[in-house]
Amino acid sequence: MAEPTSDLSEIQLENLSNSDYRRAIGEGIIYQVGESSKWRMFINELATLRNDLPLLLWRAWLDIKARYKRSILGPYWLTIGTLTFVAGYSILAGLLFKRPLEEFLGYIACGVVTWQFIALNLTEGSRIFVANASEIRSVRTNLINLPVRLLLRSLIGFMHSVPVVLIVVAFTNVINWYTLMFIPGLALLSLSLLPLAAALGTLSSRYRDLEQLVTMLMQFAFYMTPLLWKAELLGEGLGKWIALGNPFYYALTVVRSPLLGLPVAPEVWAGAIGFTIIANIIGYGIFIRFRQRITFWI
Amino acid sequence: MSINLKAYVELDNATVHFPMHLDAHTRSFRYAITNILRRNGGSRRYHYGLKHVNLKALPGDKIGIVGRNGAGKTTLLRALAGVYEPDHGKISRIGKTVPLINLSMGMDPYATGVRNIELRGALYGMSQSEISDVIKEVRKFSELGSFLDEPIRTYSSGMLARLSFGIATSVKADIILMDEWISAGDSRFIERAEKRMEKMLSNDRIVFLASHSAALVRKWCNRLLVMEGGEIVYDDRNVSGGIEFLNKLLETTGKDDRDNVS
């Protein structure tokens, strides 16, 4: 057998200050698994995430560049595609509901762009681990990095759409100080999408048909959420509750209303914060519980 | 290392098991729900990837890992890399670790050689300055010249091999995990490549090399692990003795033993 060693690792680690230890974990210089609880492993994962954040931003940027390589408009293609749809539908909706075009154009543009941000995170989130299987199985991958990278990528995409949408809004609605409030709204929305994407990714690496289910449900939610229609138009009664009982309504409104230059009602903020808290508890709960198994499932 | 630690690897009773019950049916969410409704438990089967593995490695250890297909060589490397977290037992590792397990992974054919080095460096968790060092080294070693700034889909297979060999041998690491020997392909290059490997293996690193080649292991390693059924059945500095042990093991356990895919 190899020559006996004193517990070299323990002696070395004892002499290490807490911040150095944290940093070494973050940089992947120290790696310890086994005795630590699942919660502890997740904390280590967050330390690594903090260390990797600039790298992830760079890779998210590369992802976008790779996707739109050889096209002059780049990420604006998505925006233009969306706006075509929005313009067409708005004309139709204006005629259908017998309202002026301005009432719908800005509203739908802001709503649909925000919705795309949500849908991208959840549908791609649900295949995030399966899609990166070869990387996960070849190098030590900080699993939470993958949904974070997806979130960063969709944030970059969203930020490309914002100026275009604001131009539309400038014609149909107003741009004022409320507009800036879309930033905290977007931050809150991002905070809730990250754990949801991580949890969906975890579950659908175990159950492969979940991915289709998520895509289907997002399509369903697209029509059930007041995006192409307004909650007020439903009047009182059941219709109103379809809108108000929908968590996406709150998550969406905290971004959409500011973009339209409108204040966000306190109860909507409350709803969005509540949604974020629940999404975090359930999302991270699932991810932390099954994180270790993901590598074996993919 | 920035914090001045000595490289160190320890596996303490590490056990990894793979789920064997995941087929088309059990992977279906719909099926899982109906199973719960019918109160049909379904059985879970596991296969040992690693079975109570104990191991300590110190700087200077060049550890060869041999054994038949499915004996757990790659699983051991992956567990060391941190890909598989053990189901039981402990794994501790101090030192920057680079797993050279799947060298073609993450290569983008439409990106230039330099960009691919950057991508690979990012996967290994290297900083920007470390990555630019690697680019310099690869430029010097690979003789790819201006091709490094061309998309790698224009490379010949020999050039591609030189690129990935260059990257693999330029990374700064305290612990290196190799699945099969990496070679530079090109016959003209073999001598230089050998020298480079020698340099990489000669210093104070910990190296794990999983291989099917007895000659390679005899040449490069100063310690040998023989694996069988997810267990380490031989661990000694006597490399030749280990290879004899392996040959005997392969004879005695017969050919009817199923050959799992690793």
Report whether B93 contacts A39 (CB < 8 A). Answer: no
Packed helices B157-170 and B113-123: angle between N→C axes, nearest 10 degrees: 40
Q: How do residues A11-66 score in pLDDT, each as one tens digit?
A: 677 777 777 777 787 777 888 887 677 888 888 888 888 888 888 898 888 888 87
Show the DSSP H helices in chain A as ranges: 8-14, 18-27, 38-67, 76-96, 101-125, 128-131, 133-138, 145-172, 182-206, 210-224, 238-244, 247-259, 266-297
* CB–CB contact A135 B123 (8 Å): yes
Name which residue leads in pLDDT, B242 or A219.
A219
Tokens of residue B98, six digits? 């680079």
Report whether A287 contacts A144 (CB < 8 A). Answer: yes
- The C-alpha atoms of residue B125 and residue A139 are separated, in whole angstroms, by 10
| Close Cβ partners of A85 (under 8 Å, ≥ 6 residues apart) | A112
Q: How do residues B101-155 score in pLDDT, each as one tens digit?
A: 777 766 777 888 888 888 888 778 777 888 888 888 888 888 888 888 888 888 8
Q: For position B42, what pLDDT does the model report?
A: 60
- The C-alpha atoms of residue B75 and residue B99 are separated, in whole angstroms, by 12
B20 touches chain A (CB under 8 A): no
Tokens of residue A121, six digits? 């995170």
- Report which secondary-structure segment, H or E, holds A30: strand A30-33
Half-sphere exposure of A6 (CA within 13 A, CB side): 4
Q: For position A195, what pLDDT does the model report?
A: 96
Q: For position A178, what pLDDT does the model report?
A: 86
Q: For position A152, what pLDDT does the model report?
A: 94
A22 touches chain B (CB under 8 A): no
Phi, psi of B229 (to 5 degrees): 55, 35
Q: What is the mean pLDDT of chain A?
A: 86
What pLDDT band is residue B39 in, cutting at 50, 70 and 90? low
In chain A, what are the domain boundaries? 51-297
Radius of gyration of chain B, Cα coordinates, nearest whole angstrom: 21
B32 touches chain A (CB under 8 A): yes
Report whether B96 contacts B1 (CB < 8 A). Answer: yes
B36 touches chain A (CB under 8 A): no
Give CA A41 to chain center in angstroms: 23
Residue B90 above 50 pLDDT? Answer: yes
The residue among A32, A34, A40, A37 whose CA lies nearest residue A13 is: A32
- Report which secondary-structure segment, H or E, holds A32: strand A30-33
Q: For position B260, what pLDDT does the model report?
A: 40
* CB–CB contact B96 A207 (8 Å): no
Phi, psi of B127 (to 5 degrees): -85, 170
Secondary structure of chain B as H, E, C letters: CCCCCCCEEEEEEEEEEEECCCCCCCCCHHHHHHHHHCCCCCCCCEEEEEEEEEEEECCCCEEEEECCCCCCHHHHHHHHHCCCCCCEEEEEEECCEEEECCCCCCCCCCCEHHHHHHHHHHHCCCCHHHHHHHHHHHHHHHCCHHHHHCEHHHCCHHHHHHHHHHHHHHCCCCEEEEECCCCCCCHHHHHHHHHHHHHHHHCCCEEEEECCCHHHHHHHCCEEEEEECCEEEEEECCHHHHHHHHHHHHHHCCCCCCCCCC
DSSP state, A131?
H
Name which residue leads in pLDDT, B247 or B184.
B247
- High-pLDDT (> 70) share of chain B, %: 88
Residue A263 above 80 pLDDT? Answer: yes
Angle made by CA atoms B146, B151, B153, in degrees to the nearest 5: 120
The residue among B54, B101, B52 whose CA lies nearest residue B78 is: B101
Residue A91 above 90 pLDDT? Answer: no
Q: What is the mean pLDDT of chain B?
A: 81
Q: For position A272, what pLDDT does the model report?
A: 94
User: Which member of B32, B58, B235 has the closest CB to residue A5?
Assistant: B58
Name which residue leads in pLDDT, A197 or A206.
A197
**Average confidence (pLDDT) over A233-262:** 85
The interface predicted TM-score of the complex, written ipTM, equals: 0.78
Q: For position A8, what pLDDT does the model report?
A: 61
Residue B82 above 80 pLDDT? Answer: yes
A14 touches chain B (CB under 8 A): no
Report whether B177 contacts B100 (CB < 8 A). Answer: yes
Phi, psi of A176 (to 5 degrees): -145, -165
**How many beta carbons lie within 10 A of that of residue A182, not counting itself?**
25
Half-sphere exposure of A126 (CA within 13 A, CB side): 19
Q: For position A2, what pLDDT does the model report?
A: 44
Q: For position B257, what pLDDT does the model report?
A: 46
**Average confidence (pLDDT) over B61-82:** 88
- Report which secondary-structure segment, H or E, holds A33: strand A30-33
Say which amino acid occupies B143: E
Q: For position B43, what pLDDT does the model report?
A: 66
Q: In terms of residues, how long is chain B?
A: 262
Q: For position A154, what pLDDT does the model report?
A: 93
Residue corresponding to tokens 């204040």: A263
Residue A86 above 60 pLDDT? Answer: yes
Q: Kindly list the residues from chain B whose CB atom is less than 8 angstroms away from the CB atom of residue A29.
A: 1-3, 5, 94-96
Residue A220 above 50 pLDDT? Answer: yes
User: Which member of B8, B29, B89 has the closest CB to residue A210?
Assistant: B29
A29 touches chain B (CB under 8 A): yes
Q: For position B162, what pLDDT does the model report?
A: 82
The residue among B100, B80, B72 whose CA lies nearest residue A31 is: B80
**Average confidence (pLDDT) over B240-261:** 69
Name which residue leads in pLDDT, A192 or A3.
A192
- The C-alpha atoms of residue B165 and residue A258 are separated, in whole angstroms, by 53
Residue B262 above 50 pLDDT? Answer: no
The residue among A131, A186, A139, A180 whose CA lies nearest residue A158 is: A186
Would you tell me which residues 127-146 of chain A have a C-beta closer than 8 angstroms to some C-beta of chain B?
134-141
pTM (predicted TM-score): 0.85
Q: For position A1, what pLDDT does the model report?
A: 40
**Average confidence (pLDDT) over B85-109:** 82
Residue A271 above 50 pLDDT? Answer: yes
Name which residue leads in pLDDT, A152 or B159.
A152
What pLDDT band is residue A218 in, cutting at 50, 70 and 90? very high
Q: How far is B259 from chain A (nearest CA, A)?
A: 20
**Chain A residue at shortest CA distance from B15:** A34
Query: For the ranges A150-159, A288-297, B136-145, which has the lowest average pLDDT?
Result: B136-145
The residue among B65, B95, B60, B61 whose CA lies nearest residue B78 is: B65
Query: For the ranges A20-29, A78-87, A251-260, A281-290, which has the lowest average pLDDT?
Result: A20-29
What pLDDT band is residue B41 in, cutting at 50, 70 and 90? low
Residue B258 above 50 pLDDT? Answer: no
What are the Cα distances from residue B136, in Å, to A191, A264, B130, B140, B143? 40, 54, 10, 6, 11
Q: For position B112, what pLDDT does the model report?
A: 85
Half-sphere exposure of B167 (CA within 13 A, CB side): 29
**Chain B residue at shortest CA distance from A62:** B119
Residue A235 above 80 pLDDT? Answer: no
Q: How do residues B167-206 score in pLDDT, each as one tens digit?
A: 888 888 888 888 877 666 667 777 777 888 888 777 788 8
Residue A298 above 60 pLDDT? Answer: yes
Residue A239 above 50 pLDDT? Answer: yes
**Average confidence (pLDDT) over A102-118:** 89
**Average confidence (pLDDT) over A122-128:** 93
Would you tell me which residues 51-80 of chain B have a C-beta closer than 8 angstroms to some C-beta of chain A?
56-58, 61, 78
- The C-alpha atoms of residue B189 and residue B141 are separated, in whole angstroms, by 10
